[in-house]
Amino acid sequence: MSARANILQRLRAAPQGRVPLAPAVPAFYDAIRAATPASTRTARIELFCEKMAFWHGEVVRVTHDNWPQKLREICAAKGVRSLLYGEASAHAEALKAAGIAGLKPYDRPVGEWKKELFDDTDAGLTSTRGGIAETGTLIIWPDANEPRLMSLVPPIHFALLDADQLHDTLFDAMCAQRWSESMPTNALLVSGPSKTADIQVTLAYGAHGPKELVVLLLDNELSEVSEVNEVNAEEGP
């Protein structure tokens, strides 16, 4: 008999009491939600920013209009010479229009340019499917346009996150986005830059993956807030 048949046969031969009822996971999270104040968009944004900062991730508040300029400034400040992006991404046109130096599309299978990707690519820009406020987490689903290694190999990872796509918990995100119906080949949760505490429990960043994670938090309501602030400033003494 095959190993498979033997293993399954041993498992099936084991004494079985009554199978427990299916775990009520949604009810568990419903109870938590019922016991806590209703989550608001602002609260989710604040919590996300706080938690992401705790993980050593940088959050930059931007709008849908000004993010390419902000990104250009950050790249210049960090001395980024090459920025990897997905050519067919929704944000590609805006990115190209911003005049960022060293834009590099991920346009070939990795086997054809592995060395350049590892040794000569400073940063990568990816989109995200959303974020998780409770833990300060990005949800990234790599695909043919924005492959898996974009968020892993370059030393700096820039991620575009729409503030409207923030969920309270992982469970909420996975239900709202109906993950179980079609999982991609690779789905990722990312909370901060790569890190390790394997040497004497001392935290060090950039273990194997990015040393820096910069989240561009897209929030158009922010422009209204800042405009109001500017008006106030003008009215000041």
Partner 1 sequence: MNNSQQLNFVPASEFKQRASVAVADAHLRKSFRGAMDFLISKRAGQFPNPEALERQRSLAEHIRKYSLARLPELLEQLEHKLTDNGVQVHWAEDGEEACAIIVGIAQRHSTKLMVKGKSMVSEEVELNHAMAAAGIDALESDMGEYIVQLDGEKPSHIIMPAIHKTKEQIARLFADKVPGAGYTESVDELIGIGRAVLREKFMNAEVGLSGVNFAVAETGTLCLVENEGNGRMCTTVPDVHIAITGIEKVVEKLEHVPPLFGLLTRSATGQAITTYFNMISGPRKPGEKDGPGEMHLVLVDNGRTQAYGDEQLRSTLQCIRCGACMNHCPVYTRIGGHAYGTTYPGPIGEIISPHMLGLNATHVLPTASSLCGACGEVCPVRIPIPELLVRLREEAQHDARPGHAALRGQGAAKSRLVDAIWSGWAALYTRPALYRAFGWLATRFRALTPPMQGGWTVSRTPMKPAARTLHELMAARKKR
Site for partner 1 in 63-102 (CB under 8 A): none
- The contact pattern for partner 1, residues 155-194, with x = CB under 8 A and - = no contact, is --------------xxx--xx---xx--xxxxxxxxxxxx
| Residue 6 beta carbon to partner 1: minimum distance, rounded to whole angstroms | 6
**How many residues of this chain interact with partner 1, rule: CB under 8 A?**
77
Alpha-carbon gap, residue 106 to 198, rounded angstroms: 33
Q: Phi, psi (5° rounding) for residue 147?
A: -65, 170
| Residue 198 beta carbon to partner 1: minimum distance, rounded to whole angstroms | 4
Q: How many CB atoms lie within 10 A of CB 199?
A: 8
Alpha-carbon gap, residue 156 to 161, rounded angstroms: 16
Binding to partner 1 in span 121-150, by CB under 8 A: 134-137, 143-144, 147-149
Alpha-carbon gap, residue 49 to 217, rounded angstroms: 9
Distances (CA, A) of 109 to 21, 91, 192, 230: 47, 21, 27, 47
Q: Is 16 in the site for partner 1 (CB under 8 A)?
A: yes
Stretch of residues binding partner 1 (CB under 8 A), selected from 6-14, 42-50, 64-72, 223-231:
6-14
Q: Of these, 37, 97, 202, 235, which contacts partner 1 (CB under 8 A)?
A: 202
| Residue 177 beta carbon to partner 1: minimum distance, rounded to whole angstroms | 11
Q: Name the CA radius of gyration of the chain, rounded.
A: 22
